[in-house]
Every structure is written in C-alpha cells, then in structure tokens.
A and B are shown apart, each in its own frame.
Chain A
Amino acid sequence: MIKSRAGFMLLEAILTVVIVSICLTFIAQSILTNFRTGVRFQEAIRSLIVMENQLGLLYATSGSDDMIDSSSRALEVPYDKFMIHASPSTLNDHLKNVGLILNWPAGHGQGELKVETIIYNSNEHQSTL
C-alpha cells in the first residue's frame, strides 16, 4: 500500500492533526492545573495565617461576642477578601465548642477553611491574659 503512493491521504493528515491537538490539549491542561494548584497552595497558606490570627483573638478574648458572631463578616485589610463566621455551640456549663469558618473567592468557586476549638463558656470567665 505504501509503495503505491508517495503523499499522505487527507484522512491521515486529519488524523495526525487530531492526535496532535489532543496531545497539546492535555499538555495545556496539565500546565493550567499546575498553575491553579500553585495559586490554591498560596491561598491555603494565606488562609492558615488568617485563621491563626482569628484563633489567637478568640482565645485572647475567651470567645467575646464579636468573635463568635454567626453572621458572616469581612476581615480588615490586608485580608479583606476573606469572610469569616462562627458556629458556637454549648457543650456544658463550662465549655463551648466554637467552629470558625473562613471563606474566600478561589477561581470560579469558594475556598473554605474550618477549624473547631473548645473555649470556656462562662460569661463570668475573664480573659486568661
């Protein structure tokens, strides 16, 4: 069959173009995924720092009302793209479970980091600091 012709058939050319296109698409996708992973990694580290700030405040205030507010609020600069809200629940007379939920815009969706901790429940309990 090969001997009988010198050039490529149209079908072969199209097939080659399709294969090359598929390969290039996979490569481009891989590069894009790598980039997105990098951005998510950076956002994750930034969100960790933000969360540690909030946890520090939560412990320092022993869970003051503004720290365990369940309505979502934006943080101050430079973390103004982060939103935070709390989900407190009473465990017993002395202890309270507080979940801190951090949200931020990540690409087309939203990133979320949730941390749960236990603090003293008593209103009479003063800050340990």
Chain B
Amino acid sequence: MNIKALFKHSRAFSLVELLLGLAIAAIIGLCVYNMFWSAMKLDDKMRRVHESYLEILMADHGLTHDLENAINLDFSASYQGAKIFDGQSKEFSFLEQTAHGIKRVRYYSGLWSGDNFVKSMIGRVTNPSGITDYSKEALPIEFLLRQEMSLSDWLNETTNDTHTQVVANGLKKGSFNCQYAPLVKNLHNLGSKEIIYKDTWDDKGLPMSVSCSFILYDPKRTQEGLMFKRDLFLAPVATYHHEQ
C-alpha cells in the first residue's frame, strides 16, 4: 500500500475509537496530575525540612559562638546563690561577654509565651500572636529558645532588659537534652573516651564541654524523628581551670 492509497482510505475516528482515545488520555492525564501533585507535596515538604536544617545549622553556630564567649566571674562575695554556669538536663544558662557588656544567656526548649518577643536569630521576624496561639495547643513540637538578660536583671531577678529569641523550631517535644563534661587534664594522653558527661552541672566554674541533643520532629515518623547531637567545647580558660 502506498501513501496515496493510505490517504484515500483514511477516515475519521469512530465513536468507540474516540471514547477509547479519551479514556487513555484521561488515564495519562490522571497519572501526570498525580505525579505533579506528589512532586509539589514533596517539594513543599523538602522546603520545610530545608528550613529546619538551616535553622539547626544557624542555631549550632549561635550556640557555639555563645559558649565560646562564656566567661567566669566570681560573685560569691555579694551573691552567694549566683551560679556562673547553671546546667540542667533540659536547659542551661551562663554568663557571656558580648559587645554590649556581660549578659546572662539561657538556652531552653518550649513554646514562647512572653510579651517581649524580638525575632529569630536568622533574621526572620515572627508574628508573636501566631506563636502564642500555638502555645495553647498540645503540639508535638517545640522551639529552641535563647533568653538574654542583662547582668543586673539576672542578679536582681528582674526582667527590665530581658528578651527571648526563637533559635530553631520543629524540635520534638521534650527531646532537648543537655549534658556537661568537667575538665579532664592530660586528655592528649588519655584520649577522648575520658570525657565523661553528666546530666547536671552544679560545679563552681565552667564545664569543659556541653553536649546538646534533640530530635527533629518528622510528621510522617512521629516516634522516630531525626536525632542531632552536638558536643560544644568551651573556649580554653586555662587560668580558671587551673584554679579549680
């Protein structure tokens, strides 16, 4: 059969052919739609996870910076109850030398519910009312918060110059844990296995290292999540440690 003959005998589609064609087109269209819908959902999820990861990275940098600038001051003569470094299993606070003077910095997890919310550390301004609404719900997530107060606020137990920042969100509720390791001399010969962490820090001075761990909440795997652990070594304060 040549081309001319083919064209001669060509005809329009019958109703059955048309219906069959439509059915096939509909099935293909449905598949494509499903594929795009799944891709969009996946993309949205990835974006949210990316944001969480970036926040964790920024939180890590902020935490490292804060702890590296932790200082030791002796207030025992005037304020006997004042702990230079107060380490609990779910939070810790310490004195930090900043460009604006000495500040008391506290890291803890929870849902922010104060009045003087400023902004997150990564520069994104968050709507305080939005967060307050969240705090009323029993959410499976919570924030990593950083509270900064002036030295006078800390010593006098006031809140005149105190503000709180959301450092990271998406932490699984109750998963933020902290541990503290005391100074170990001659670590070079003993090895890293000799760094022993304990759940609280009640000693007089600064710990050698703070280990923070938390689980990033995953809505698809609520029981598991993704665990992060960071061991942060405080800047060497040789003279103080020797005094200890």
Contacts and interface: CB of A to CB of B under 8 A. Distances in A.
Contact size range, B: 35 or more
Contacts of B53: 41-42, 45-46
Given A60-B233, A78-B229, A52 B60 contact: yes
Nearest to B45: A38
Nearest to B43: A34
Interface stretch (A3-11, A87-95, A98-106, A108-116): A3-11
A24 interface: yes
B187 to A, nearest CB: 4
Given A9-B6, A49-B230, A129-B208, A63 B13 contact: no
14 contacts: A1-B7, A4-B8, A6-B13, A7-B11, A34-B46, A38-B49, A52-B60, A57-B195, A60-B187, A61-B188, A78-B227, A126-B188, A127-B185, A127-B188
Shortest Cβ-Cβ A-B pairs, 10 listed: A6-B12, A5-B10, A78-B227, A38-B46, A127-B187, A62-B188, A31-B39, A66-B191, A61-B187, A64-B191
Interface of A: 1, 4-7, 9, 20, 24, 27-28, 31, 34-35, 38, 41-42, 45-46, 48-49, 52-53, 56-57, 59-67, 77-79, 123, 125-129
